[in-house]
Amino acid sequence: MIQFQCDYNEGAHPLIMQRLLESNMEQTIGYGEDPYCNQARLLIQQACDNSNVDVHFLVGGTQTNTTVISHILRPYQGVLTAGSGHINVHETGAIESTGHKVLSIASPDGKLTATQIEEAVLAHQHEDGPEHMVQPGMVYISFPTEVGTVYTLNELESISAVCRKYALPLFVDGARLGYGLCSPESDITLPQLATLADVFYIGGTKVGALFGEAVVISNDTLKRDFRYSIKRHGGMLAKGRLLGIQFAQLFTDNLYMQIAQHAIDEAMRIKSALQAKGIKFLIESPTNQQFPIFSNAQYEELSKKYLFSFWQRIDEEHTAVRICTSWATKSENVDCLIEDIENL
Amino acid sequence: MIQFQCDYNEGAHPLIMQRLLESNMEQTIGYGEDPYCNQARLLIQQACDNSNVDVHFLVGGTQTNTTVISHILRPYQGVLTAGSGHINVHETGAIESTGHKVLSIASPDGKLTATQIEEAVLAHQHEDGPEHMVQPGMVYISFPTEVGTVYTLNELESISAVCRKYALPLFVDGARLGYGLCSPESDITLPQLATLADVFYIGGTKVGALFGEAVVISNDTLKRDFRYSIKRHGGMLAKGRLLGIQFAQLFTDNLYMQIAQHAIDEAMRIKSALQAKGIKFLIESPTNQQFPIFSNAQYEELSKKYLFSFWQRIDEEHTAVRICTSWATKSENVDCLIEDIENL
Amino acid sequence: MIQFQCDYNEGAHPLIMQRLLESNMEQTIGYGEDPYCNQARLLIQQACDNSNVDVHFLVGGTQTNTTVISHILRPYQGVLTAGSGHINVHETGAIESTGHKVLSIASPDGKLTATQIEEAVLAHQHEDGPEHMVQPGMVYISFPTEVGTVYTLNELESISAVCRKYALPLFVDGARLGYGLCSPESDITLPQLATLADVFYIGGTKVGALFGEAVVISNDTLKRDFRYSIKRHGGMLAKGRLLGIQFAQLFTDNLYMQIAQHAIDEAMRIKSALQAKGIKFLIESPTNQQFPIFSNAQYEELSKKYLFSFWQRIDEEHTAVRICTSWATKSENVDCLIEDIENL
Amino acid sequence: MIQFQCDYNEGAHPLIMQRLLESNMEQTIGYGEDPYCNQARLLIQQACDNSNVDVHFLVGGTQTNTTVISHILRPYQGVLTAGSGHINVHETGAIESTGHKVLSIASPDGKLTATQIEEAVLAHQHEDGPEHMVQPGMVYISFPTEVGTVYTLNELESISAVCRKYALPLFVDGARLGYGLCSPESDITLPQLATLADVFYIGGTKVGALFGEAVVISNDTLKRDFRYSIKRHGGMLAKGRLLGIQFAQLFTDNLYMQIAQHAIDEAMRIKSALQAKGIKFLIESPTNQQFPIFSNAQYEELSKKYLFSFWQRIDEEHTAVRICTSWATKSENVDCLIEDIENL
């Protein structure tokens, strides 16, 4: 079976494996304070064009979301998110486990708007007794979103502005950040993101690393004691250098963006083939996740050879699935899929 | 500097690195349900001589302790531990972050006794209003302990018996399990541990792996929904196979025990050299951590070449330090250290 | 101003005040183990026609909801509720503060159906990785609901059946229980409720007491150690007898139902007057809360003399308000209001 | 049986009951924003000689401790307390339920010293990796302590100074505040307390009220959003005026101090009788709790007529008990007890 069901089927980019191997028997101190982590921090600061941001390395996405959100919020505050946000549906209550309500806002395309955020804030400022409701304390968005859509620079600026108006830190989940930045529909750069968000992370797990997410904190007031929060949430890797080595490699010679671009290129080829075949999409995604709606017969036929993610039943006769590409997707597998789509 | 300050200075055993490299571009499903994890589970069940135990793989120790303890306890219960227990002092309140009190019992050598456990339970069964105190809900011990000591089979049997008498699940933190099992003073085997403990874990991070801890659950009532708890605590690695590959390798051809034995052998050589020199120890440890008390002059001299962990000030003139060996310790570095000890 | 904005404007029923006064200087032991609490327990068991239920007294509703829900759920579980449920909107995240997600289901009339519950359960049993989502662990409904509606016996039986089918304890928030039981549209009795729910509470704060909620647990598996949970959540009143005295009085000579009936009678008089005037309602409520939609002019006129709760803006010209009656509502105030409605 | 086992055996001071009765059928708005609460706030500000303090009313002590502590601490911080502190032993893990470690310091007399606090802070500032330990975030002391002892002004000034030096808010649990302020060994006044503590509470439950604790916040940075924290912890009483009425009465005509003085006077009479009889004390307490060590025969004899709290077994032949007086203690009962002590 050729697997297109997610973007974490393979290990790491070969250059990363090579660096891990070369450094394997070196001795370093632990917990992210080794020279490799320091090097990776520097490279990420350079990529953000901002030597003032704090950079921390965590192992996975749920852990990162939980650590960042619980670090920011006061106990009685909640986090605003699109209803489809990963923290709202697919983290087994990890955010709530830290005592915070996830305040979800309906969003068919997975994106929040500045207006929705402002409305949500005002709805919680009930003149008579706001303290009976959770206080919105920050905003969480994903870039790209859970359903592959991306914000434009203009949209992100509006969101950032409304967040600052109401003193709500803006946190951008970048588990698939590379795929968002390389999307043909995105006009956002890493330095812009570092300016507009108060904190965001650069996903490694889904973009070339064995595992790892790099948290970038640009808002000074959020920097203090972040290592305590990492440790408390079990996110401080003993051999922290494993993260440093990986991110140092990803941010050397623009590797992160290059491999992300590959995934987008392959996704766009699949998308074109689907469109050419007249297949509709559940959501119009410009990133590495595509959500075609197959007839059940089509789905069955392709499932003989390919693994997709079942997404949702559309009607008796149709099913939406998710097809993912990644940094590791082989072009010959995509060729093969395209041919099979054409032959449907 | 030659580093003896901890047992996680290097990467992973070369055989593990090789397997990671070989499998790197294979496609597998995620979250620990891949063939490598299944293989590792089977090998660990075989090593435990028990095909009924559940085996789960997590990334690190704090995460594992938090996940297991919060999975077991009812909300108003606490966990009994030696005062020096890792969960009590060095996890930044990770256990408390899940709402549970750590009920610490003073223990100079890091070990709990069956009698201490029974006394603690009875002290919380105050006839008049026990509900005003936290209810002891489980027992946590480390094997070996934070200070390198080990339980004998006899001691562990007594603890297990008192735990069962009071329906307290017994959880054994095995972050350094290999070093305990290989200790000349330990007469406990893995199958015995799996029988006497309700849940324990086999530490990989400190014994040959890049990272990873294998949780073994033998008590049936604790097995249900453990994967939910892993996910909720951010411990479900997307590329779960990385853990499966490592543990499969560690439990092939007895590698885990072999490399642990190496660490013990080297530690015993250092210990002998220290004893020969007349140097006293803070604690009599039969495992890979040694706690000599150096005069400040000795400490200063050795610190020119070696990195140890400062442990505690003994008096104006003396300092206790921790010297660790590990699976990765080079014999020539130990030779060198021994020579320098002799020359002190 | 005559206050109709809520059902907790006054103190307690005079008979309760009298009993508090008479017993004031008696000495009793604390924490709910005094003779008055025992008497109240017995009376409530009799009213439930079930000598097997456990009865506990807590101070307020948010505390009671938090204590019951966190007592029942496993850490990774959440509670199913209507979106309008008090725990979802007006408790400042108290449920989430205990680590649990509130799983809300859209419901325009504040009621859940058995079908909705079953669908929600099935939606969380995703064949492929249910552990990435919170597991539904119990069902919370209010009787009457936040918007004054009531379940029929038939509806409650269906809900109870589906809960038992999926092993989900059913918890009924009875903050206004008396007003539900006395509603002309309700055919449920207290003994039936005690049979169909696993745990529910009898609201005192809004039905005649100074404060206090009586939790009734009929499911044996939920009874164990409930006092620990009360204490842990700050709900164990030192002078517990204050609760016992109040509930003993409320359950003597059917006082609880009599005074609830009074509130319903007065509410129905107001409702009729509003209907006669041709005023529409936001929700058709058969209990002590009425939700008329006034023109802004009408609202302004009545607001000169009466205090209502603003509920929501309907359009530029209309506003929905909440008018509450209670055990303490004076008939002459209702007469007065009716006259003013007629004169609008 | 005459009850001396605790200081919450009776209801409320008759003047309070009278005010509750008089106001019973008045209509007020809820949640502590009524005129009675406002009046009580003003009276307490006057008693503190500080019109800038915020005053909030909660129902009970555990709830108050939990609300204040969780409001102050950052997630990874803990609260320093004497080992005997109520939050450490008798609150069923309520503090830990909010995710915070209780950092206990051994203290035979229940008091912390400024030196102990400083040492504890420094011990958590381990140069190498402080983030592996919980960070001390505030200091909790009781006045008087759990074992009846009191701080002198000088001691409290030192504690306050060290707390400010390390930016640790100082929280004083005043569940028995009146009894501390009236102690012959205390030279602290309410205005001084309001200056030296960042937040403290004035206990009503044990000093004349049916229930209720008045939280006084003098540190501006802790004031924001405190009502959210109250609500989230289930402490916002619907009929908040019940608290306002009680505290307004207690702070009218110096009632609070007068009735506290009565308890002290009676306690000192009992103490003298015990001393005259040559009976030793477990702790030398100058407040309303006395801890005599009786021979078992003495204990048995007195237990025929009096209820004391068993405190601890001293040896085979002796038992320490707690004898409490309160605002409600009848002098004739004390006379009687004294006579029986003399006749032992």
**Tell me, what's the pLDDT at A106?**
96
In this complex, which of A135, A229, A232 lies closest to D228 when CB atoms are compared? A135
The reported pLDDT for the residue numbered B129 is 82
User: In angstroms, how far is the first alpha carbon of chain B from the final one?
Assistant: 18
Q: Which two tokens stand for residue C183?
A: 């509603």
pLDDT averaged over 10-residue windows placed end to end, chain A, 344 residues = 96 98 97 98 98 98 98 98 94 96 96 98 85 97 97 98 98 98 96 98 98 98 98 97 98 98 98 98 97 97 96 95 98 98 96
Q: Which of A26, A92, A228, A243 to mutate to probe the B interface, most B CBs <10 Å?
A: A92
Whole-angstrom Cα distance, residue B100 to residue B136?
10
- pLDDT tens readout for residues D130-171: 999 999 999 999 999 999 999 999 999 999 999 999 999 999
* Residue in chain D lying closest to C3 (CA): D27
Given CA atoms D223, D226, D227, D230 in this order, what sign does their dihedral have?
negative
Q: Among partner residues A76, A91, A128, which is closest to C93 by beta-carbon distance?
A: A76
Which residues lie closer than 8 Å to A342 by C-beta, 6 or more apart?
A273, A276, A277
Q: How many helices (H) and strands (E) does chain D have?
A: 13, 13
Q: Which residues pair with D171 in a beta bridge?
A: D140, D199
The per-residue pLDDT for A69 is 98
Contact (Cβ atoms closer than 8 angstroms) between residue B56 and residue B32: yes
Which segments in chain B show pLDDT lower than 70? 127
Q: Which of residues 1-40 of B touch A (CB under 8 A)?
A: 2-3, 5-6, 8-12, 14, 17, 20-21, 23-30
Q: Does C134 contact A92 at a Cβ distance shorter than 8 Å?
A: yes
- Whether the ω angle into residue D144 lies within 30 degrees of 0, i.e. cis, is yes
Residue that has been written with the tokens 């990774």 in this structure = C76
pLDDT score at C127: 67
Contacting subunits of B (3+ beta carbon pairs below 8 A):
A, C, D
DSSP state string for A197-228:
-SEEEEE-TTTTSSS-EEEEE--GGGTTTHHH
Q: With contacts defined as CB-CB under 8 Å, which chain B residues touch C232?
A: 75-76
Residues of A in contact with C101 (CB under 8 A): 93, 96, 102
Instruction: Give the closest-approach CA distance of A210 to chain B in angstroms.
Output: 7
pLDDT in tens, D59-96: 999 999 999 999 999 999 999 999 999 999 999 999 99
What pLDDT does D211 receive? 98
* pLDDT band at residue D127 under the 50/70/90 scheme: low
Strand partners, D21: none
* DSSP reduced 3-state for B43: helix
CB D16 within 8 A of CB C210: no
Which pLDDT does position A128 carry in this prediction?
72
**How far from the centroid of its chain's Cα atoms is residue C341's Cα?**
28
From chain D residues 275-334, the ones with a CB under 8 A of any chain B CB are 310
Per-residue pLDDT reduced to its tens digit, C110-162:
999 999 999 999 999 876 789 999 999 999 999 999 999 999 999 999 999 99
Q: Is C124's Cβ below 8 Å from some Cβ in A?
A: no
Q: List the single residue in D76, D89, D133 with the smallest CB-CB distance to B133.
A: D89
Is the Cβ pair C97, A75 closer than 8 Å? Answer: yes
In angstroms, rounded to a whole number, what is the distance separating the alpha carbons of residues D5 and D288? 11
Are C74 and D209 within 8 A, CB to CB? no
**In terms of CATH architecture, what is B2-7+256-342?**
Alpha-Beta Complex (3.90)
The secondary structure of chain B in percent helix, strand, coil, rounded to multiples of 5, reads 40, 20, 40
Structural contact between residues C288 and C259, judged by C-beta atoms closer than 8 angstroms: no
* Strand bridging mode D306-307 / D199-203: unpaired
**Chain C neighbors of B70, CB-CB under 8 A:** 75
CA dihedral C62→C65→C66→C68, nearest 10 degrees, is 150
Share of chain C above pLDDT 70, in %: 100
A221/D contact by beta carbon, under 8 A: no
3-state SS class at B177: helix
* Backbone φ and ψ of B294, nearest 5°: -95, 150
Where are the alpha helices (H) located in chain B, listed in sequence order?
14-22, 35-47, 61-72, 86-89, 114-123, 153-165, 177-181, 190-196, 226-232, 241-250, 255-276, 296-302, 331-342
Q: Which two tokens stand for residue C107?
A: 């419901």
Is the CB of B228 less than 8 angstroms away from the CB of A92?
A: yes
Chains that touch D (3 or more CB pairs under 8 A): A, B, C
C18, pLDDT greater than 80: yes
Q: C231 vs B131: CB contact, 8 Å cut-off?
A: yes
Distance from CA of A322 to the nearest CA of B (A): 15
Q: Residue B51: how many CA atoms within 13 Å on its side-chain side?
A: 0
From the list D93, D128, D133, which residue is nearest B89 (CB)? D133
Contact yes or no for D90 and B133 at CB 8 A: yes
Calpha distance C83→C104 (Å, rounded): 5
Indicate the domain borders of chain B: 2-7+256-342, 14-254
CA atoms within 13 A on the CB side of B234: 34
How big is chain C, counted in residues? 344
At A127 the pLDDT is: 67
Instruction: Tell whether B191 is within 8 A of chain A (Cβ).
Output: no
Q: Which residue is closest to B100 within chain D, CA to CA?
A: D96
User: Helices marked H in chain C — which ranges?
Assistant: 14-22, 35-47, 61-72, 86-89, 114-123, 153-165, 177-181, 190-196, 226-232, 241-250, 255-276, 296-302, 331-342
Q: Which two tokens stand for residue A160?
A: 């950032």
Tell me, rounded to whole angstroms, the distance of Cα C282 from its chain centroid.
20
Contact C230 B71 (CB under 8 A): no
d(CA D46, CA D194): 11
d(CA A44, CA B36): 33
Burial (Cβ within 10 Å: 0-12, 13-18, ≥19) of residue D106: exposed
Interface test with A, best of D29, D97, D231 (most A CBs within 10 A): D231
**DSSP, residue by residue, D78-107:** EEEEETT-HHHHSSTTTTGGGT--EEEE--
Domains B2-7+256-342 and B14-254 share a fold: no
> Which residues of D fall within a CB distance of 8 Å from B132?
90-92
Answer yes or no: are the C-beta atoms of A283 and A149 closer than 8 Å.
yes
Could you name the CATH architecture of D14-254? 3-Layer(aba) Sandwich (3.40)
Partner residue facing B235 (CB), from A93, A206, A234 = A234
Q: What is the DSSP string of B185-209?
A: T----HHHHHHH-SEEEEE-TTTTS
Cβ of D124 under 8 Å from any chain A Cβ? Answer: no
Q: Scanning every residue of chain A, which has its alpha carbon at the shortest distance from the alpha carbon of C78? A: A93
What CA–CA distance (Å, rounded) separates B124 from C49? Answer: 36
Chain A residues with CB under 8 Å of B205 CB are 238-239
- What are residue D173's DSSP bridge partners? D142
- How close A190 gets to chain B, by Cα (Å)? 25
Facing residue for A74 by CB, picked from D131, D225, D230: D225
Min distance D71 CA to chain A CA atoms (Å): 7
User: Does the beta carbon of C54 lie under 8 angstroms from any beta carbon of chain D?
Assistant: no
Smallest CA–CA separation between D324 and chain C, in Å?
A: 13
**Sequence-ordered list of residues with C-beta below 8 angstroms from that of B149, at least 6 positions apart, any chain:** B109, B110, B111, B283, B284, B285, B286, B287
Cα gap A79→A69, rounded to integer Å:
8
Neighbours of chain C (3+ CB pairs under 8 A): A, B, D
Residues 88-117 of D with CB under 8 A from C: 91-94, 97-98
Give pLDDT, residue C272.
98
Q: Is B216 on the interface with D (CB under 8 A)?
A: no
d(CA D137, CA D75): 10
CA B75 to chain D, closest CA, distance in angstroms equals 8
What are the tokens at D274?
Answer: 């015990």
Q: Which chains pack against A, by 3+ Cβ pairs within 8 A?
A: B, C, D
Which two three-digit tokens encode residue A182? Answer: 């390389």
C73-88 pLDDT, tens digit per residue, is 999 999 999 999 999 9
pLDDT at A87 (0 to 100)? 95
- Binary contact (A129, D70; C-beta < 8 A): no
- Nearest chain A residue to C87 by CA: give it: A133
Tell me, what's the pLDDT at C128?
72
Instruction: Evaluate whether A273 touches A340 at the Cβ level (below 8 Å).
Output: no
What is the chain B residue with the closest CA to D5?
A: B128
Domain A14-253 sits in CATH at 3.40.640.10
User: Cα dist. A311→A149, A185, B86, C82, C264 in Å?
Assistant: 16, 23, 43, 26, 49
Domain C14-255 has CATH 3.90.950.10: no
Task: For strands B199-203 and D213-217, give the pairing.
Answer: unpaired
Chain-chain contact of B8 with A239 (C-beta, under 8 angstroms): yes
Task: Please write the tens of the pLDDT for every residue from D16-45.
Answer: 999 999 999 999 999 999 999 999 999 999
Does the N-terminal peptide bond of residue C130 adopt cis geometry, omega within 30 degrees of 0? no
- SS3 category, C102: strand
Task: For residue B100, give Cα distances in angstroms to B79, B217, C193.
Answer: 8, 21, 34
Confidence category of residue C202, pLDDT binned at 50, 70, 90: very high
DSSP output for D151-194: --HHHHHHHHHHHHHTT--EEEE-TTHHHHHTSTT----HHHHH
CA C207 – CA C216 distance, rounded (Å)? 17
The residues with which D58 forms a beta bridge, in sequence order, are D213
Q: Which residue has the tokens 């706690």?
A: B291
CATH architecture of C2-7+257-342: Alpha-Beta Complex (3.90)
| pLDDT tens string C164-183 | 999 999 999 999 999 999 99
- Which pLDDT score, from 0 to 100, does residue A129 have? 82
